[in-house]
Structure 1
Amino acid sequence: MSSSATPSSSSSSSSSSSSAAARPGGCPIDHTALRAPNGCPVSAHAATFDPFEDGYQQDPPDYVRWSREQEPVFYSPKLGYWVVTRYDDIKAIFRDNLTFSPSIALEKITPTGDEANAVLASYGYAMNRTLVNEDEPAHMPRRRALMEPFTPAELAHHEPMVRQLTREYVDRFIDSGRADLVDQMLWEVPLTVALHFLGVPEEDMDRLRQYSIAHTVNTWGRPKPEEQVAVAHAVGNFWQLAGKILDKMRENPDAPGWMQYGLRKQRELPEVVTDSYLHSMMMAGIVAAHETTANASANAIKLLLQHPDTWREICADPALIPNAVEECLRHNGSVAAWRRLVTRDAQVGGIALPAGSKLLIVTSSANHDERHFADADLFDIRRDNASDQLTFGYGSHQCMGKNLARMEMQVFLEELTRRLPHLRLAEQSFTYVPNTSFRGPEHLWVEWDPARNPERADPSVLVWRDAVRIGEPTGHAIARTVVVERIDPVADNVVRLRLVAPDGKALPRWAPGAHIDVECGQTGISRQYSLCGDPADAGAFEIAVLREADSRGGSAWVHDVLRAGDRLRIRGPRNHFRLDEGCRKAIFIAGGIGVTPVSAMARRARELGIDYTFHYCGRSRASMALREELAALHGHRLHVHAGDEGQRADFAALLGTPDPQTQIYACGPARMIAALEDHCTAWPEDALRVEHFVSALGTLDPSREQAFTVELKDSGLTVEVPAHQTLLTALRCANIDVQSDCEEGLCGSCEVRVLAGQVDHRDVVLTRGEREANHRMMACCSRAVAGGKLVLEL
């Protein structure tokens, strides 16, 4: 179905006009044969959509690109499902698990025949609900009861085993010069890790592999009638084997392993953790903890080797690996789609969906949505929001094993980049097991020259590095190297740096208001500087740095140590101070070095034809960076207020008459920002938009803080935040992913949505109106007022 209001949608334009003329309303589709359940017409693209085609198997996001761009919600007659492809729509579906039930997540997408069903019955197959497809109110109590082994602190105990196992498998083929990584490592290592994690004895690995594939085909595939019986036998055997393993575990429930943990929880909560539930989780857990990780790892290594420059980068700098894993999961993850059942009439993307509708939500498409991921098809391991990917799902049904998978993938990449940095893809065609939801190459052939193996000349290569990061990567893991092309003085104590890529390639796109984080020397100091160049100049980033009188080390290092030709590590760009390009009028106000982001905004306003004025305040003209360039660009729209000339800005006159059509953008000293806030009290809420460069936040003092409680609405969890801990830390301990960078309330990376409760705001990111609205907070520093309770959209 098209999201267009008229039957003849743009997606149908490829059909001939004569065909269109033969149909009612000009639509090229025969509605008597194909009709969506609500009576709306089916477009040409929707009519031919088939997730079992090779195009979907090879590249799901590209296969449904037309949908993301034209019909984000459409009905597929071939599948009998509504298909959803955009990020915001899919995240909203994940968020509301009552309206959009997960109950069909494991339903056979291709119904099996009577003979295959009889075979399954002969094995006593009775697969029950699991964490993946169980509705409330049963789901969340079980999830809470079984979650602890998945927290980062508990998963850390498994890393030495994962690393040792990976090393042993690499040892088997490292001198051969050619290997199928799927067959020779990536399938068996995650399976062994899964068995260890679950507490399953290592036995009959080949049978478990066969059964796991059969389970995938049985649930998400399209086996031919003659194949269904063989698949049913394999699934039945899998079911019986899972039961036998569980019986063995009951003999020693105090042994290590998640299933044994479940058996112990059964003693405490027999009505929550039942026998039938444990049997189903045993079978589902082997598949969930094994197959998706194996596929994700194969996809990631394939993707990285298809981008040799990126492969060389992570070989040279292993600190990039955590975010490289996130970007691989986003760009080419192992979970292509999930399914949901609409329990009551609802709307998705403006399309009315009746109760009973089945949804195929293509998460791999959401991960390529330009509305959320800038330049989404670009593979960029330094992407600052890569971990927003929906490969693990979101909300109360988000994959509990996500951090185990992340840890395994990081270890695989660390070992391969260290021991085989000269690895390359062999000539081959990639094949996939046809199904709607899970994907990874069946084989991944790689080649290398054993004579060049680094460990032959330097055995220290085999020395283990520090433990991997378990959980979402920090901002420090996404640094990129740039070269200082020029350093030019642009005012008293102000220099402008032009930064370029070492290989001369284009740098990421950015919008006015964006900033980068610069690592200043070897001290570990990181400072944020706004971009002040031309966003259209893809060849360079430009920043201007004022030497602060009370420098904490950053600006002094830039002025005294940094030279043209030096290399810098930067992160970003990121933007929490955006220009609304749809505004009609704008007032730009800059104080001192605060001119840097405002100058880029004013340049963009000029290009867009926005009616604007630019007020630039400084102690003296000699101290005002970029002044001559701004005068040449903005002419009479620029008003310079030099304090030593008695030309102070009259904010009372400038802002005396509120104008609902005007937005004010300001950056500068705290005293200037405070004055502007005072003069804007009568203006519409959030007419004034500001950016700060300093934070008055101190170190958390437990003796002066109070503990508080947060309820995580989407995840169904309640988390206690002690007086000595930040909300951000408490969320991470509960296995909840939240991005962060500065952790001082400056950058806005750790913003979370607030649904209820009063926030003690301590950041310098939110505007006055945003704080009063109480809908957002920064998890790194803000808390609940007076030890109260907050409800968050997490």
Structure 2
Amino acid sequence: MTEQSGTGCPVHGRGGGCPVSPRAASFDPFAESFLADPAAALEWSRNEEPVFFSPELGYWVVTRYEDVKAVFRDNVTFSPSIALERVVPPSEEAMATLKRYDYAMNRTLVNEDEPAHMERRRALMAHFLPENLAAKEDMIRRLTREKVDAFVDSGRVDLVEAMLWEIPLTVALHFLGVPKEDMDALKEFSVAHTVNTWGRPSPEQQLKVADAVGRFWQYAGRVLDKMRAEPDGEGWMHFAIRKNAEMPEVVTDSYLHSMMMAIIVAGHETTSLASANAVKLLLSNPLVWERICKDPALIPNAVEECLRLEGSQMAWRRKATRDTEIAGVVIPKDAKLLIVSASANHDPRHFENGDLFDIYRDSAVEHLTFGYGSHQCMGKNFARLEMRIFIEELSRRLPHMRLVEGQTFTYLPNLAFRGPQRLLVEWDPAQNPERSDPALAGRTVSFPVGAPSSKEIARSMRVAEIGDAARGVKLIRLEDPDGLPLPAWTPGAHIDLLVGDFSRKYSLCGSPSDPGYTIAVLREQDGRGGSRFIHETLKPGTMVRIRGPKNYFRLEEQAPRHILIAGGIGITPILAMADRLKALGRDYVLHYCGRARETMAFLDRVARDHGAHTVLHVSSEGGRADLETIVKGWSPDTRIHACGPERLLDQLGLLCGDLPEGSYKCEAFTTGLDGMVHADDTAFEVDLADSELTLTVPAGRTLLETVRAAGIDVPSDCEEGLCGSCEVGVLDGAIDHRDKVLSAAERAEGKRMMACCSRAAGKKLRLAL
């Protein structure tokens, strides 16, 4: 903790120990500034004090991505038992009010410890699997269209009141099998439950809230009794009632009543608020909204980016079951934790350009809005499906919709849920596109259930300029056609260029500060045709699509000394690295290998900007590189980075094999494997430690496909074993490695694998998933 005077934190003896910094002492999660933008309000914490004690709240606050995820992962050390505990202890009068209603809220899936939690979760999760949610799409779309039909010609509406509250509630009730009754009463009950559990009501408000919560409890009980009388009823609660009869020791009577009340809130309020946040964010960025209106295929990843930047779940609470540490800060036993996912989702240590709203971000799915691990939200794919349909219907039918200027957005003061209570939008009904094309109102765009694949994410770009970097090498500069800001990139980054039927990876060159992206494309006569197609087809003004930028070949710029090795067109990422090292004043040498000077791209610029640091190895002039001698120039403070032909990289891999881990990095764009699944593959079993599930990976399916089918989100990019984005931790078991990411030492260690291609070398693996 920061050594400044202030209130003591309760590390030693409850009140002694390290002082609390002024910012920590003044932290107020109920303040308007925090509710309006929790990530911005906690930027100071992410940068300076990622774990701090709040005397006002009585909680330890955790704000960085890796720390929040680590707390989610360890449900033994960090118990979820206080997740539904009242932030403000109820007054005697409020408790008396609840007692009159026989209120007896018990544990639910949200706040239950192991092993009871996973026993119940396994018994009740089937309805939430992606394959079982797809059938709900038609119902959600029908409800959405009915609501949009009702206001499409009005020109102005509060979207929360008009659709974003009621549809998720109706869908939740339908999913549960609960009859739709008094919608206004349910809304009152839900708000009261939120304020009662996560809010800070005044003594007067406590009585009113307690009365509403008590009535909610009795309502849930009446509905449950009615459903018990219908043993063959449909819906998740009917399923739970039958499970109660089959396994009463797992799905208990008291659990059913408590879950009936909790799921009505959890099943709709988070989706309602997340949808309002998403529409507000999209309309606040008109160029992004326009892009989505033109291309609905962008909607699934746009939803993930909205959930990352403006999720409805701000934070969760946990309780330490033993003395422990988080990021080097001592956390005492019984300490209460507020783990702020809204802050973690902006952490630049995990998300490059973390505050940038980028609907093309390939890592957006890694957000923690749904939690992580065994307590991750079971209804996450239901929420995704609803949000996608809402945005698709609105963007197709009202592309000219905009936020009403001057409106003030207000948020219900509480620690958990966040979303505007009103969302006023307006448009000119005379410009409704369906007036000229009535069929537009009935068109449908379907989306697969589950997290989007990065292969579905592509950014539209325009060729701004084409030049020659060397004989047979085209220099191509790309720009956004609408002037949409592009994500910044770092040396070693690349993009996937999608042209015609071809997808090829090209390293970014030029300066990261330049507007647009520049790549160099070598025409490969013996290649698969992609480079020839690019050389012969692209012209200034041509529209192309790209994925990225992504950086799996990151420069370790903090090292004092560097050996850079480029072979042929491999100069593109290496030159960007040399530029960066020169700007930092680091000691570096650039070895540039090529067949002939006229085929070596950027040769003049290399000589001009890095001449004193450059060694040319030109084969036609008898200057073939002696790689063994180059590698002998390594010292413990040196990093070697190389990019070039596969033969060059294979030689370097052998020569650097005995160097300490991390000393040598290279970039490869092919694995040399014929597919991720082999004819002689056999099935194997995986234990997912964080999710507490056991799955079987069949012979004809990858590990990545199998875990996704079980509702476990695993990021991926190339799905060819090249990029490392689908890496998962291995806790036990032998691995059949098929990637080009891990070094020989990392493979021998056996602690990680690429889910897209690698498999078990035996019958079973235990994974940190």
Indicate whether the TM-score tops 0.5. Answer: yes
The equivalent position to 2:474 in structure 1, one of 467, 491, 495, is 495
Q: 1:686 aligns with which of 647, 662, 670?
A: 662
Q: Identity over aligned residues, as a percent?
A: 59
CA distance in 2, matches of 1:37, 1:219: 26
Alpha-carbon shift at residue 462 of structure 1 (Å): 2.3
Q: Deviations over 1:382-434 (max 9, x none)?
A: 22222221111111111111111011100000000000001011131111111
Confirm or deny that 1:789 pairs with 2:768: no
Distance in structure 1 (CA, Å) of the matches to 2:688 and 2:343? 26
Count residues in correspondence: 767
For residue 341 of structure 2, the aligned residue among 339, 359, 363 is: 363
Equivalent position amino acid for 1:517 in 2 = D
Task: Identify the residue that residue 449 of structure 2 maps to in structure 1.
Answer: 470
Could you tell me how far 1:776 is from its partner in structure 2? 2.0
Matched, 1:704 2:683: no
The answer to whether the 8 A contact 1:686-1:768 is kept is: no
State the Cα distance separating 1:553 from its structure 2 match.
3.7
Deviations 1:157-213 (A, max 9, x none): 111111111010111111111111101100000000101111111222221111111
1:447 maps to 426
Query: CA–CA distance in 1 between the matches of 2:358 and 2:135?
Result: 31
Q: Does 1:642 align with 2:618?
A: yes
2:327 is aligned, of 345, 349, 353, to 349
* Residues 86, 198 of structure 2: 8 Å contact kept: yes
Cα distance in structure 2, aligned partners of 1:152 and 1:28: 51
Partner of 1:14: none
Q: Is 1:435 matched with 2:419?
A: no
For 1:517-666, list aligned pairs within 5 A. Answer: 517-521=496-500, 523=501, 525-537=502-514, 539-656=515-632, 659-666=635-642
| Distance of 1:417 and 1:479 partners within structure 2 | 19
The one-letter code of the counterpart of 2:761 is V
Aligned CA distance change for structure 1 residues 673 and 140 (closer, same or farther; 3 Å): same
Query: What is the CA-CA distance between 1:31 and the residue it aligns to?
Result: 9.5
Conserved in 1, the CA contact under 8 Å of 2:9 and 2:17? no
Q: Report the counterpart of residue 158 of structure 1 in structure 2.
A: 136
How far apart are the structure 2 equivalents of 1:642 and 1:412? 59
Cα distance in 1 for residues equivalent to 2:362 and 2:118: 31
* Counterpart residue type for residue 512 of structure 1: P
Q: CA deviation at 1:35?
A: 10
Q: Residue type matched to 1:599 in 2?
A: L
Residue equivalent to 1:15:
none
- 1:462-508 Cα offsets, whole Å, 9 max, x none, are 24334213221111343222221111122222111111222345421
Corresponding residue for residue 489 of structure 2:
510
Deviation string 1:244-265 (CA, Å, 9 cap, x unpaired) is 2222222333332111222233
SS at match of 1:262: helix
Alignment correspondent of 2:31? 53
Cα shift readout 1:229-249 (whole Å, capped 9, x = no counterpart):
221121111112212222222
Q: Cα 1:665–1:398, aligned 2, differ >3 Å: closer, same or farther?
A: same
Deviations for 1:663-687, whole angstroms, at most 9, x for unmatched residues?
A: 1111122211111112123322332
1:390 to 355, 368, 393: 368
- Indicate the residue corresponding to 2:295 in structure 1: 317
8 Å CA contact 2:282–2:289 kept in 1: the answer is yes
Q: Please tell me whether the aligned partners of residues 9 and 15 of structure 2 are also in contact (alpha carbons under 8 angstroms).
A: no
Residue type at the aligned position of 1:791: R
Residue deviations 1:673-723, cap 9 Å, x none?
Answer: 111112123322332211111222223556410111111111111111011
Cα pair 1:706 1:723 within 8 Å, conserved: yes
| CA gap 1:74/1:240 in 2 versus in 1, 3 angstroms | same
CA distance in 1, matches of 2:231, 2:601: 70
Contact 2:64 2:343 in 1 (8 A): yes
**Is 2:273 the partner of 1:295?**
yes
1:177-216 to structure 2, matched below 5 A, reads: 177-216=155-194
Q: Flag the 1:698–1:263 CA change in 2: closer, same or farther, 3 A.
A: farther
Distance across 2 between alignment mates of 1:776 and 1:79: 39
Judge conservation of contact 1:38–1:353 (CA < 8 Å) in 2.
no
Cα distance change on mapping 1:235 and 1:680 into 2, 3 Å: same
Cα gap change, 1:758 to 1:350, in 2 (>3 Å): same
Tell me which residue corresponds to 1:42.
20
Q: Does 1:99 align with 2:74?
A: no
Give yes or no for contact 1:585–1:610 (8 Å, CA) kept in 2: yes
The answer to whether the Cα contact below 8 Å between 2:643 and 2:666 also exists between their aligned partners in 1 is yes
Question: For 2:218, what is the secondary structure of its paired residue?
Answer: helix
Unaligned runs of 5+ in 1: 9-26
- Could you tell me how far 1:560 is from its partner in structure 2? 1.0
Change (3 A) 1:153 1:631: same
Pick closer, same or farther for the CA change 1:677–1:364 going to 2, 3 Å: same
Q: Distance in 2 between matches of 1:88 and 1:30?
A: 26
Q: Matches of residues 723-762 of structure 1 in structure 2 within 5 Å?
A: 723-762=699-738
- Cα 1:629/1:153, change in 2 over 3 Å: same
Asked if structure 2 preserves the Cα contact closer than 8 Å seen for 1:322 and 1:469, the reply is no
- CA shift for structure 1 position 769: 2.5
Q: Secondary structure of the residue that 2:268 maps to in structure 1?
A: helix
**What SS class does the counterpart of residue 239 from structure 1 fall into?**
helix
8 Å contact kept, 1:759–1:774: yes
Distance in 2 (alpha carbons) for counterparts of 1:273 and 1:607: 63
Which amino acid letter does the alignment assign opposite residue 404 of structure 2?
Answer: A
* Aligned counterpart in structure 1 of residue 465 of structure 2, from 486, 498, 502: 486
Find the counterpart in structure 2 of residue 19 from structure 1. none
Alpha-carbon deviations, 1:703-758, whole Å to 9, x = none? 41011111111111111101111001001101010112221112222222222222
Equivalent residues of 1:60, 1:365 under 8 A apart: yes
The answer to whether the 8 Å contact 2:94/2:207 transfers is yes
List runs of 5+ in structure 2 lacking aligned partners: none
Q: TM-score, normalised by structure 1?
A: 0.94
Tell me the distance in 1 between the aligned counterparts of 2:484 and 2:594: 36
> Secondary structure, in 3 states, of the residue corresponding to 1:780?
coil
Retained in 2: the 8 A contact 1:531–1:596? yes
For the aligned residue pairs, the C-alpha RMSD in angstroms reads: 1.9
Partner of 1:11: none
For residues 244 and 552 of structure 1, do their structure 2 counterparts lie closer, same or farther at Cα, with a shift above 3 Å needed? farther
Q: Which residue of structure 2 lines up, in the alignment, with residue 667 of structure 1?
A: 643
Tell me how far apart the structure 2 counterparts of residues 726 and 65 of structure 1 sit (CA, whole Å). 39
Cα shift readout 1:83-139 (whole Å, capped 9, x = no counterpart): 111112111111111111100000000111112112212222111111110001111
1:314: Cα distance to partner?
A: 0.7
Structure 2 residue 312 is the aligned partner of structure 1 residue 334: yes
Residue type at the aligned position of 1:107: E
Instruction: Give the match for residue 16 of structure 1.
Output: none
8 Å CA contact retained: 2:588, 2:613 = yes
Work out whether residues 253 and 261 of structure 1, in 8 Å CA contact, stay in contact via their aligned partners in 2. no
AA in 2 matched with 1:569: R
Determine the C-alpha separation between the residues in 2 that align with 1:700 and 1:92. 31
Amino acid at match of 2:743: T
Q: In 2 relative to 1, CA 536–154 (structure 1 residues): closer, same or farther, beyond 3 Å?
A: same
Quote the Cα distance in structure 2 between the aligned partners of 1:458 and 1:277.
52
CA separation of 1:667/1:31 partners in 2, compared to 1, >3 Å: closer, same or farther?
Answer: closer
Secondary structure in 2 matching 1:496: strand
**Which of 229, 245, 251 matches 1:251?**
229
Structure 1 position 763 matched with structure 2 position 742: no
Stretch moving more, 676-685 or 393-402: 676-685
